[in-house]
Amino acid sequence: MALKTSTLIYTGAACLAIAVLTVGSGVLTPAPTPSPVDTLALQDLADGDMRKLTWSGPVPLPDVTFVSEDGTQASLTDYAGKPVVLNFWATWCAPCRVEMPHLSALQTALGDEAAVLTVATGRNDPAGIDRFFTEIGVTNLPKATDANQSMARAFGVLGLPATIIVDAQGQEIARLLGEADWSSDSAQNIVRALAGD
């Protein structure tokens, strides 16, 4: 009977699996792991408002759902394979009104490379959400909701707006509390680096 052992080396928040050794067969097989995110290289891309990012390193996401615009339950696993810029906002939030067009511009710039997911958290009337988007001229972002704030709580969101950058493997890389210019070259470069561009 073959005995399998795994050797792990931990460096900060990142974990790199070195090898899996199968004793008896004499085969040394590299352990399958996703490419580690080089957060130091990403931090070098941060300029302007992106310097306010708090870098969390690759951190697993909570297993929570939200309600998509069509009323169905959805989760971040629906976005597997591409980076996500997850934004928590509310209709009553004045900084959100300033920030949302920047998020819209980011989505336009990134196209299919990444997704900007805007989630209205707390009590937000559907008509109020529609009015909010109409008044600021945003048509390309989702009107997802988190009415009972369970998603926001699971992510530890304490204020709005709050934006979390998620890599293509579904791990939190960084977050920013407060309004920021997400249309900047710096924001685009960070997300594109996560997309492998």
Domain CATH for 162: 3.40.30.10
How confident is the model at residue 196, as a pLDDT?
87
pLDDT at 36: 58
How many independent structural domains does the chain possess?
2
Domain identity same for 12 and 108: no
Which residues, other chains included, contact 137 with Cβ-Cβ below 8 Å and sequence gap of 6+? 101
Are residues 40 and 23 located together in one domain of the fold?
A: no
Q: What is the pTM of this model?
A: 0.81
Confidence of residue 77 (pLDDT cuts 50, 70, 90): very high
Residue 38: what pLDDT?
84
Residues 6 or more apart in contact with residue 97 via CB below 8 angstroms: 132, 135, 136
Same domain, 42 and 1: no
Cβ atoms of residues 192 and 109 within 8 Å: no
In a shared domain, residues 25 and 59: no
In this prediction, residues 124-146 reach a mean pLDDT of 98
Q: Are residue 4 and residue 77 in the same domain, yes or no?
A: no
**Containing structural domain, residue 113:** 36-194
Average pLDDT over residues 167-185: 97
**What pLDDT, on a 0 to 100 scale, did the predictor assign at position 27?**
41
**97 pLDDT tier (thresholds 50, 70, 90):** very high
Percentage of the chain beyond pLDDT 70 is 82
pLDDT given for residue 147 in this prediction: 98
CA-to-CA dists, residue 84 to 27, 80, 103, 146, angstroms: 38, 9, 12, 17
